[in-house]
Structure 1
Amino acid sequence: MSDATARRFADPFAMGDDGANCLRCGYLVEAEREGRGLLTCSACG
């Protein structure tokens, strides 16, 4: 499993964590996908 697909969660309560969690599986959405307005991770499509 690569770093991009590591099972990591965005913490909405952490000041420095501005990531988004996937709407399907709940894991972290990659920054590139989030920047394009996608709300699912690459594994979910």
Structure 2
Amino acid sequence: DPELLEDIEMLQDAVLAAMNNAVAVVDKTTADEMGRFTAGMPGMGF
């Protein structure tokens, strides 16, 4: 959105929100994948 370039704070907030969303997706995907591999191991549940 070209209007974002006019407002630096709004651009910073948009980038931060996108990064936070990406980190949340990676965390969930990692937990889901690790859960598949550690499901049968005692003490290794993620």
User: If the TM-score is normalised by the length of the shorter chain, which range does it land in?
Assistant: under 0.3
**TM-score, normalized by length of structure 1?**
0.19
**TM-score, normalised on structure 2?**
0.19
Q: Greater helix percent: which structure? A: 2
Relative contact order higher in (CA < 8 Å, ≥ 6 apart): 1
